[in-house]
Amino acid sequence: MTDTAKTDEETADEIRVLVFSIKDTWFGIIIDQLAEIKDLKDQAASGEGVSHFHELVSFSGPPPEYRSPHLLYIKGAEKSSGIVIEQPDSILEITPANISPLPEMIKRTNPDMPAWGVAMIDTRLILLVDANRFT
Amino acid sequence: MHQENTTDKIDKILSQIEKGKRDSEIIDVDEKKIKLVIFTAGKNLYAFYGSGIKEILPFDKINYVPGCPEIISGIINVRGDIESVIDTHVLLGEKKPNATERSRIILASAGGVTSGFFVDSVEDVIDIPESDIAPPVSTIEEPIRLFISGETVFNGHYTSVLDIEKIFRTIAE
């Protein structure tokens, strides 16, 4: 076994996750599901095919203000469609030991929820979202 | 002769004591005790059966989960396990207060489901005879009526005893 193969084997279970927050709730999307991330800077965060993340996950209450909007393009989705998120906080490597499934009561009361698990990083709970559910 | 009488008397006394002991043991067995966790939500007292309670936790940050019904406050981390939290105020139609130092999360389990319940305070954990729990009064309105399994009195106040499994079933429906 070569050193490279050994390294691949050791890290096979880890996932690389793009982490961002909206209204104090943390979300993570597996990097491999993303085709591109674009900083919108002063560009309008709207247009045909563009959805805001808070709408896709059904946030309650008044809509959040996106201070530094970024546009995500999901692999396999149409090129013209994108999802607006707040500026990404970090990219984390998360091991399965730090991931829990969603509690049964959340799954039963919110079957359309695109989250598939919860990562526990320090004191943060990060809802891991399956981006393929948006395509 | 006198010695024999005394021996008889002692035997009778011992026998009487033994019988009394057996009788009292029988009474203890008959008096089935039920453990209740008494808590407040809004202005009212409620209780859970102790058998369904895993833990009483101090109130900590509840993490919001978008898309859940209002009755689900969110999720918490219990030493590495992620658990949902049910808002008892929404469940029981009580006024929703802010969390205080007395607020608690009661972690309960029933029918293969575990969840926390956000309550205003835990007043006591008591053992009472089963007969002290009366059937629920018929005037209780729905939806609360669906998961009240009995009524008891705690410190002179009516206390509704809630069925955790029925609550889980009702919320998940």
Q: List, for residues A58-69, the tens digit of each pLDDT value.
A: 998 898 988 899
How many Cβ atoms are within 10 Å of B156's Cβ, its own excluded? 5
| Closest chain B residue by Cα to residue A109 | B172
Number of DSSP helices (H) and strands (E) in chain A, helices first: 3, 10
Tell me the pLDDT band of A43, cut-offs 50, 70 and 90.
low
Element (H, E) at B17: helix B2-30
Contact criterion met (CB < 8 Å) for B75 and A112:
no
Tell me the pLDDT band of B30, cut-offs 50, 70 and 90.
low
Q: Which of A26, A6, A7, A11 is nearest to A95 (CA)?
A: A11
When mean pLDDT is compared across A43-47, B50-54, B66-70, B71-75, the lowest value belongs to A43-47
User: Residue A4's pLDDT is what?
Assistant: 43
- B80 CB near a chain A CB, below 8 Å? yes
When mean pLDDT is compared across A78-87, B1-10, B53-62, the lowest value belongs to B1-10
User: Residue A5's pLDDT is what?
Assistant: 44
Q: Does the pLDDT of residue B153 top 60, yes or no?
A: yes
pLDDT digits (tens, 9 = 90+) for B31-41: 789 999 999 99
The pLDDT > 70 percentage for chain B reads 87
Within 8 A of B71 by CB-CB distance, chain A residues are: 109
User: Residue B23's pLDDT is what?
Assistant: 61
Contact criterion met (CB < 8 Å) for B65 and A106:
yes
Contact criterion met (CB < 8 Å) for B66 and A118:
no
- A96 CB near a chain B CB, below 8 Å? no
Mean pLDDT calculated for residue range A26-43 = 89
* Token pair belonging to B173: 């429906």
| Closest chain B residue by Cα to residue A27 | B65
Q: Does the pLDDT of residue A42 top 70, yes or no?
A: no
Point out the residue among B66, B71, B112 whose CB comes nearest to the CB of A60: B66
Helices (H), chain A: 3-11, 53-56, 104-109
Instruction: Tally A–B CB contacts below 8 A.
Output: 74
Question: Number of C-alpha atoms within 13 angstroms, CB side, residue A38?
Answer: 18
Element (H, E) at A26: strand A25-30
Q: Rounded mean pLDDT of chain A?
A: 86
Contact criterion met (CB < 8 Å) for B65 and A113:
yes
When mean pLDDT is compared across A6-15, A17-26, B14-23, B97-106, the lowest value belongs to A6-15
Whole-prediction pTM: 0.83
Mean pLDDT calculated for residue range B65-81 = 95
When mean pLDDT is compared across A2-11, B108-117, B156-165, the lowest value belongs to A2-11
* Token pair belonging to A128: 């891991």
Q: Does the pLDDT of residue A111 top 70, yes or no?
A: yes
* d(C-alpha A28, C-alpha A124), whole Å: 12
ipTM of the complex: 0.84
User: Residue A80's pLDDT is what?
Assistant: 66
Tell me the pLDDT band of B21, cut-offs 50, 70 and 90.
low
The amino acid occupying position A50 is V
User: Residue A105's pLDDT is what?
Assistant: 96
Q: Rounded mean pLDDT of chain B?
A: 88
Q: Does the pLDDT of residue A82 top 80, yes or no?
A: yes
Mean pLDDT calculated for residue range B153-162 = 94
Point out the residue among A100, A106, A120 whose CB comes nearest to the CB of B68: A106
pLDDT digits (tens, 9 = 90+) for B78-119: 999 999 999 999 999 888 888 999 999 999 999 999 999 999
* d(C-alpha A56, C-alpha B67), whole Å: 9
